[in-house]
Amino acid sequence: MTEQENRAHGADSEVGTLRTVMLHRPGTELKRLTPRNNDRLLFDGIPWVARAQDEHDAFAAALRDRDVEVVYLTDLLTETFADESARTEAIETALNGLHLGDTMRHYLRPLLTEASPAELTTYLTAGIRNDEVRGGFGLVTSLLPSDDFLIDPLPNLLFTRDSSVWIRDRVAITSLAMPARKRETQLTELIYTRHPRFAGTGTLHGWRDDHVEGGDCLLLAPGVVAVGVGERTTPAGVEQLAREILHKGLVHTVLAVPIAQERATMHLDTVCTMVDVDKIVMYPNVAGTLTALTVTVQEHGETDADLVLHVADAEPFLVAAAKAMAIDTLHQIDTGLDPVTAEREQWDDGNNTLALAPRVAVAYERNDETNSRLEDAGIEVVRIAGSELGSGRGGPRCMSCPISRTPLAG
Ligand SMILES: NC(=O)NCCC[C@H](N)C(=O)O
């Protein structure tokens, strides 16, 4: 088997041996965060960028040490921009921003068109400030504060989990709910549809569709996907994704899991992640109340829109999950039984682990209680620092998009 075949694209679980992962090394876009814009840009503080980069490099090194191929989103994007039509599409989509006005567009278009592929990647990810455009003396330039953004920076690109998700051999282009993140999936769509590495890959969903975020999608087992529905993924979003993946036979069951619509639980992977084929680390303060609606196919149709879905009554999440996974029990490992410790460690992404293989997971080192409980349960914990990375409220799972995992299904 060639190296490429050995790392064939796709994933059918959360825990099959991780072979290739897409990360985003934090860069200039983080330097754009200020106390005035960090809330809007979804960061809880102003990270020390050099330290965040060191922490991220150590994360990538820990993955490479385990023979994981690490690819960077910005490298893929720059390579994608070798294709002239991909460049044009990216530029025109960015220029569609309604707040620009035609005069500003007139100045921005040549700036972007004449940029090299690497420069274009930087403009589209780090953004462009009003005072960085020379000669744009129009009404918009004059009225906008000089440090306001003409093209917003994308500091949350760091969380590659959310902007795409592989379900078997297909990749879903997600549709992000928060205005600060909407442009991210325009870039992942370009990568997956234009980069030669992904030629022939079938895509699902799209950034113009109802909201679905990758952090809400957990591949519990081959054929079973749980999708959180809360602050980010909408009821219509989960229905649309469920129709697509059930119709294509990529899964037999979708579990729709309502989660509280608040920042602490913005995605399902902030409250639970899989660490083995039958073990999940879970925030105990929600474990007792988390439910799931089991969605299966009642009647097939010509298209996914014709599919008749069967939606079962809500059941406790762990019960519904075990049934769908055809296992006796989905074992829960708690974030810490003391509710205050659990709350602190959940906030600091203790539940947000990235499985490298069954019973091996990357976790932030700071979550002592959760990590020792994982070890007590037989999970090897690969600890990484996240003091600066964590200020964006995301852990190892959020910061990684598995492109290839060894399939669990035979
Ligand atoms: N899957 C995740 O939970 N991703 C973390 C996203 C954090 C980001 N600052 C956001 O608010 O969207």
Summarised one tens digit per residue, pLDDT across range 262-297 is 887 899 999 999 999 999 999 988 888 999 999 999
- Window from 193-197, 366-370, 406-410 with minimum mean pLDDT: 406-410
Residue 103, domain member (yes or no): no
Mean pLDDT value of segment 142-154: 91
pTM of the entire predicted model: 0.96
Cα(223) to ligand 1 centroid in Å equals 26
Residue 51, domain member (yes or no): no
Q: How many angstroms separate the CA atoms of 28 and 90, rounded?
A: 19
Residue 110, domain member (yes or no): no
> From atom 10 of ligand 1, which residue's Cα is the shortest distance away?
42
Residue 8, domain member (yes or no): no
Mean pLDDT value of segment 315-330: 98
pLDDT tens across 45-101, in order?
999 999 999 999 999 999 999 999 999 999 999 999 999 999 999 999 999 876 788
Residue 27, domain member (yes or no): no
Residue 93, domain member (yes or no): no
Which tokens in the block code for residue 390? 């964590």
Is the ipTM higher than 0.95? The answer is yes
CB 193 within 8 A of CB 228: no
**pLDDT at res. 249:** 97
Residue 12, domain member (yes or no): no
Give the residue numbers spanning the domain of 190: 62-71+155-405
**pLDDT at res. 286:** 87
- Window from 28-32, 144-148, 373-377 with minimum mean pLDDT: 144-148
- DSSP codes of every residue in 84-97: HHHHHHHHHHHHT-
| Chain-centre distance for alpha carbon 20 | 15
Q: How many angstroms separate the CA atoms of 335 and 368, rounded?
A: 10
279 - beta bridge partners? 276, 331
Told to judge if 217 belongs to the known catalytic residues of this protein, a careful annotator would answer: no
Residue 269 in contact with ligand 1 by CB distance below 6 A: yes
Share of the chain above pLDDT 90, in %: 83
Residue 270 in contact with ligand 1 by CB distance below 6 A: yes
Cα(148) to ligand 1 centroid in Å equals 23
Overall domain count for the chain: 1
Residue 118, domain member (yes or no): no
- State the CATH number of the domain containing residue 279: 3.75.10.10
